[in-house]
Chains A and B, each alone.
Chain A
Amino acid sequence: MAEVPLLEARGVSKRFGAVQALYNVDLTLHPGEVLGLVGDNGAGKSTLIKAIAGTYHPDEGEFFFEGRPVRIRSPRDSADLGIEVVYQDLALCDNLTVVQNMFLGREEVNRFHALSEAHMQRRAEETMESLAVTTLSSVKQTVARLSGGQRQSVAVAKAVMWNSKAVILDEPTAALGVAQTRQVLDLVRRLADHGLGVIVISHNLHDLFEVVDRFLVLRLGQSVARFDRDKTSQQEVVEAITAGTLSHVPGQSELEEVVTQ
């Protein structure tokens, strides 16, 4: 692809004590594409996105955003760049409404420092509309009353309404049934169609094949393979996940098999 990548990570390494969670990982994400990040448990997927999100500080590696080198030292830094992460546990407040959750921490106020409820509600409704989220009857209902798929939609909408350019979803369909998984996959596709770059972590290759453009395979903390969705098969991806070729990690005579949790 000729265009400048939206997000690029080069040579990212991260060690937790004796565990080399990431070693020399490269990742490229283009605007308008969905990248599937796959790998076995403990492969380093979560660690990689936390490094991109500024939650973890990698020992080595550099990041580029829209071609410029950037420093990501805190979640604030990555949010300022336009990177939003939707974690598996979603982090929604059950007692608050959909609008209140979407604006949490970034509420709009009028000149009397009073919350501009109506304006926030309109923006929330617009976002839902632009993402074609039609399963919500009202953005004024509390999140406690929503189904799993609806919650996921709210979390995604919350992430994209802040001028975000890249959205990272950690296992967005793990807890969902068939119909709700469908909703979320459609939503992921629409984000990319709006020009955002999307990274999706999932164990469900079948789902991923429906929605991603490319795959990045991690194994034991290393990036072992990259595939275009159209030029690969589930079988090939599975093989890379379980037996991709590893490079030698300096300082480790032999790679201990990482016990999966």
Chain B
Amino acid sequence: MTAASSAAGVDAADISPRGRRLSFSAGLTNWTQNVRAGEIGSLPVALGLAVIAFIFQIQNDRFLSSQNLTNLLVQMAAVATISTGVVFVLLLGEIDLSVGAMSGVAGITAARLLIPDGNQVNVVIALAVAGAIALAVGATHGFFVAKLGVPSLIVTLATLFIGQGVILAIAGQQGLIRIQDKTIIGIANVFLTDGWGWLLAAAMVLGYAALVISADRTTLAQGLTAQSTASMLAKISLVAVMAFGTVAITNSDRGFPLVAVILAVMIIFWTFVAERTRFGRHLYAVGGNAEAANRAGINVDRIRIAGFMIASFMAAAGGIVLASRLRSVDNSAGGGNLLLNAIAAAVIGGTSLFGGRGRISSAVQGALVIASVESGMGLLGWPSDRKFIVTGAILLLAVTIDTLSRRTRQTQGRA
């Protein structure tokens, strides 16, 4: 028996058998208080998306067409994938500037290994090689940062250049490798049939409902205060509307994109890792206060190294997705605004640059914002110069919101 419960004079078994439920209005009040205290969650993204949709739809009514929305899902997938890894390093309070280059290296490596010249390897091996390279690169980043104390900004800036060199070397004289492998091409170019789409949405909603309900049961069984039934229903309904809504839209076009399924699986997996495992908890702790984590017996170096490995690995995965969509990899792979977009997506989605705050889903949310703006500007035929300016301005806005809400949290704490 533990000191705490024996001191309280109760045993695990005879604690009050059923907890109570918070009323819906009390839950709402708590939420409002959290928002005021700077814990704003997905609020800015939801508002931002509504504004973006409104503005572009007025200018061009193709923006909210099912074709354009389906394209959006496919276009955002690569950035969202890379950004998922970026979230991990940002949570550590670090940065990885090499994710763009890493995605290019992975793409061109896989493409090179799959050239049908008689020496090509099995696609699984090609992907495994790309993944292994990424893990090695990430471990190297982690080693330099955690063990040697070199700032991650500099380490990953160095590997950005090294990566670009490697891409040029592998791309060779031609400068471009076309992808002919069916599996790779399929990733971003296969769409589910309508039936599979509906089935997927149903599975998603049922799975989510099962999670919510089982969490609720545990809460009550532990004698704790659970959320109101109304708020539970509201959350499940929201997920149902989003899932079935998205499938309805995509089904009236080409169908639900396979790449979006892959993205969803990755997001769910990494969310579990970040929020429901000891590793994830330690990751947040290291980003929040490394000294406290260290004193709590957490192996801070190991957590940092793992974070960088995840970032490089997800960058590689994003590189494969991109290669699939473009059906080729050239010597500019991983360049352009890919890096900026991947980092911006995480920050726009609400992951803090100051470490310890953010969620994996912010990668998708931010990527959706960026893809929407790019798609909208594309529909309006805006030139690149203006696109760059707008993307930069959005990033600046997101970083400002991050900084201000951080300040709000700090002043609250000292009250």
Return chain A residues, CB-CB under 8 Å to B278. 107, 109, 113, 115
Question: A91-B291, A105-B297, A123-B4 given as contacts; is B412 within 8 A of A145 (CB)?
Answer: yes
Return chain B residues, CB-CB under 8 Å to A119. 218, 222
Minimum CB distance partner of A147 in chain B: B415
Per-residue CB contact flags for chain A residues 187-203 toward chain B (1 = under 8 Å, else 0) read 00000001000000000
Q: Nearest Cβ distance between residue B284 and chain A, in whole angstroms?
A: 6
- Give the complex CA separation of A50 and B84 in angstroms: 41
Is A94 a contact partner of B5 (Cβ separation < 8 A)?
no
Minimum CB distance partner of A120 in chain B: B222
- Give the complex CA separation of A125 and B219 in angstroms: 13
Q: Nearest Cβ distance between residue B315 and chain A, in whole angstroms?
A: 25
- Give the complex CA separation of A95 and B351 in angstroms: 12
Question: A91-B289, A163-B2 given as contacts; is B222 within 8 A of A130 (CB)?
Answer: no
Q: Which residue of B8, B215, B221, B357 has the most chain A CB atoms within 10 A of its CB atom?
A: B8
Is A121 a contact partner of B4 (Cβ separation < 8 A)?
no
Is A118 a contact partner of B4 (Cβ separation < 8 A)?
no
Q: Nearest Cβ distance between residue A207 and chain B, in whole angstroms?
A: 22
Return chain A residues, CB-CB under 8 Å to B281. 96, 100, 104, 107, 115
Is B3 a contact partner of A161 (Cβ separation < 8 A)?
yes
Question: A95-B357, A126-B5 given as contacts; is B409 within 8 A of A144 (CB)?
Answer: yes
- Secondary structure class of chain B's binding surface, majority of residues: helix
Return chain A residues, CB-CB under 8 Å to B7. 127, 130-131, 194
Q: Looking at the complex, which one of B224, B298, B410 makes contact with A105 (CB distance below 8 Å)?
A: B298
Is B293 a contact partner of A104 (Cβ separation < 8 A)?
yes
Q: Nearest Cβ distance between residue B37 and chain A, in whole angstroms?
A: 6
Residues from 152 to 178 in A contacting B, C-beta threshold 8 Å: 160-164
Return chain A residues, CB-CB under 8 Å to B8. 126-127, 129-130
Q: Nearest Cβ distance between residue A82 and chain B, in whole angstroms?
A: 9
Determine if A4 is an interface residue (Cβ-Cβ < 8 Å): no
B: contact size bracket:
35 or more
Is A92 a contact partner of B292 (Cβ separation < 8 A)?
yes
Q: Nearest Cβ distance between residue B302 and chain A, in whole angstroms?
A: 13
Q: Looking at the complex, which one of A93, A118, A146 makes contact with B224 (CB distance below 8 Å)?
A: A118
Determine if A68 is an interface residue (Cβ-Cβ < 8 Å): no
Minimum CB distance partner of A195 in chain B: B7
Determine if A18 is an interface residue (Cβ-Cβ < 8 Å): no
Residues from 1 to 52 in B contacting A, C-beta threshold 8 Å: 2-5, 7-10, 15, 37, 39
Question: A105-B297, A144-B413, A145-B409 given as contacts; is B289 within 8 A of A161 (CB)?
Answer: no
Is A163 a contact partner of B3 (Cβ separation < 8 A)?
yes
Determine if B182 is an interface residue (Cβ-Cβ < 8 Å): no
Q: Looking at the complex, which one of B2, B9, B37, B413 makes contact with A161 (CB distance below 8 Å)?
A: B2
Determine if A71 is an interface residue (Cβ-Cβ < 8 Å): no
Q: Nearest Cβ distance between residue A100 and chain B, in whole angstroms?
A: 7
Question: A91-B292, A127-B8, A162-B3 given as contacts; is B356 within 8 A of A118 (CB)?
Answer: no
Return chain A residues, CB-CB under 8 Å to B10. 126
Determine if A122 is an interface residue (Cβ-Cβ < 8 Å): yes
Is B222 a contact partner of A76 (Cβ separation < 8 A)?
no
Return chain B residues, CB-CB under 8 Å to A101. 292
Q: Looking at the complex, which one of A92, A94, A126 makes contact with B4 (CB distance below 8 Å)?
A: A126
Residues from 41 to 88 in A contacting B, C-beta threshold 8 Å: 75-76, 87
Minimum CB distance partner of A144 in chain B: B413
- Give the complex CA separation of A239 and B357 in angstroms: 50
Is A127 a contact partner of B4 (Cβ separation < 8 A)?
yes
Is B293 a contact partner of A93 (Cβ separation < 8 A)?
yes
Return chain A residues, CB-CB under 8 Å to B272. 114
Return chain A residues, CB-CB under 8 Å to B9. 130
Determine if B288 is an interface residue (Cβ-Cβ < 8 Å): yes
Q: Which residue of A129, A144, A164 has the most chain B CB atoms within 10 A of its CB atom?
A: A144
Is A104 a contact partner of B3 (Cβ separation < 8 A)?
no
Determine if B277 is an interface residue (Cβ-Cβ < 8 Å): yes
Determine if B392 is an interface residue (Cβ-Cβ < 8 Å): no
Return chain A residues, CB-CB under 8 Å to B102. none
Q: Nearest Cβ distance between residue B214 and chain A, in whole angstroms?
A: 10
Q: Nearest Cβ distance between residue A227 and chain B, in whole angstroms?
A: 29
- Give the complex CA separation of A130 and B284 in angstroms: 29
Q: Nearest Cβ distance between residue A46 and chain B, in whole angstroms?
A: 15
Is B413 a contact partner of A115 (Cβ separation < 8 A)?
no
Query: 22 A–B contact pairs at CB < 8 A?
Result: A89-B291, A93-B284, A93-B292, A96-B288, A105-B297, A109-B278, A114-B276, A118-B222, A119-B218, A122-B15, A122-B224, A123-B2, A125-B224, A127-B4, A145-B409, A145-B412, A146-B413, A160-B4, A161-B2, A161-B4, A162-B3, A194-B7
Q: Which 3 A-B pairs have the closest CB atoms?
A: A105-B296, A95-B288, A95-B356
